[in-house]
Amino acid sequence: MARKEDDRRQRILARAQEVFAREGFRSAEVKTIAEQAGVGKATIYKFFASKEDLLLTVVEENLHRVRDIALGHLMAGGDPLQRLEDACQGMAGYISTNRQFSRVLLQEAGEFAGDIQRRHLAMVEENLPVAEAFFAELRKDGYFTAMDTRETLYMMLNLMVGSIWNWALTGEGDMEKRAVEYIRILIRGMRGDPVHATHT
């Protein structure tokens, strides 16, 4: 029974993402989502308190999937720089194959920015100990020594979010290749302390 309920919930979330991406939050109707998910409106409200809650759950679950991809790579064995590159490529790959999620974020970022940001920041803070252990490996080789882990993580996330935003708006380029290129540039630039760098 629990499996059936979970399948139904996931089906609702998948159809909700499609409808929100296609019609925007304000224009989207719960009735439409219910019809496309093959359930009644009452079933949707059994799982989600409101249409707003449904949208935020769509965003949160996608963020969790992106996090799980990143953690899977970062916690694997092998060279930490390669694991970091693989994590960025994996996250970019998820985003590029799930363009509806990017569209939902772009369309609703303004109105729901506060709620989305709070959920995002809570997830980052929750996983900070894992990031600390990972970056400690890199610091042994002189990488990412200029800032503490929290600052480094937010800088990397901001770079990725900006790249996703630009990619989703323009539709240009290969998101995975771009992610790898950016992280390689960042890694080269983050070896040592840039505060003492001199310009020639």
Residue 85 sits in a domain whose CATH number is 1.10.357.10
Whether residue 157 sits in one domain with residue 125: yes
Report how far apart, in Å, the C-alpha atoms of 81 and of each of 15, 163, 169, 187 are: 37, 20, 30, 8
Structural domains of the chain, count: 2
Is 137 contained in some domain? yes
The whole-number pLDDT of residue 200 equals 36
Is 174 contained in some domain? yes
The CATH number linked to 25 is 1.10.10.60
Whether residue 40 sits in one domain with residue 67: no
The whole-number pLDDT of residue 38 equals 95
Is 54 contained in some domain? yes
The whole-number pLDDT of residue 199 equals 36
The whole-number pLDDT of residue 188 equals 76
Whether residue 117 sits in one domain with residue 77: yes
Question: What angle is formed at CA 26 by the lines to CA 25 and CA 28, rounded to 5 degrees?
Answer: 65
Give one DSSP letter per residue of 40-75, joined into a string.
-HHHHHHH-SSHHHHHHHHHHHHHHHHHHHHHHHHT
Is 200 contained in some domain? no
Whether residue 21 sits in one domain with residue 106: no
Is 197 contained in some domain? no
Measured CA to CA, the distance from residue 110 to residue 147 in angstroms comes to 30
Query: Has this prediction a pTM greater than 0.85?
Result: no
Contact status, residue 131 vs residue 180, Cβ threshold 8 Å:
no
Whether residue 66 sits in one domain with residue 4: no
Is 199 contained in some domain? no
Whether residue 181 sits in one domain with residue 100: yes
Whether residue 113 sits in one domain with residue 44: no
Query: What sections of 75-174 are H helices per DSSP?
Result: 80-97, 99-126, 128-139, 149-170
Is 198 contained in some domain? no
Contact status, residue 173 vs residue 167, Cβ threshold 8 Å:
yes
Range of the domain at 27: 1-48
pLDDT in tens, the chain (200 residues): 778 888 999 999 999 999 999 998 899 999 999 999 999 999 999 999 999 999 999 999 998 999 999 999 999 988 999 999 999 899 888 888 888 887 787 777 667 878 888 888 888 899 999 999 999 998 988 888 888 999 988 888 888 777 777 777 777 778 888 888 888 887 776 664 444 333 33
Whether residue 104 sits in one domain with residue 36: no
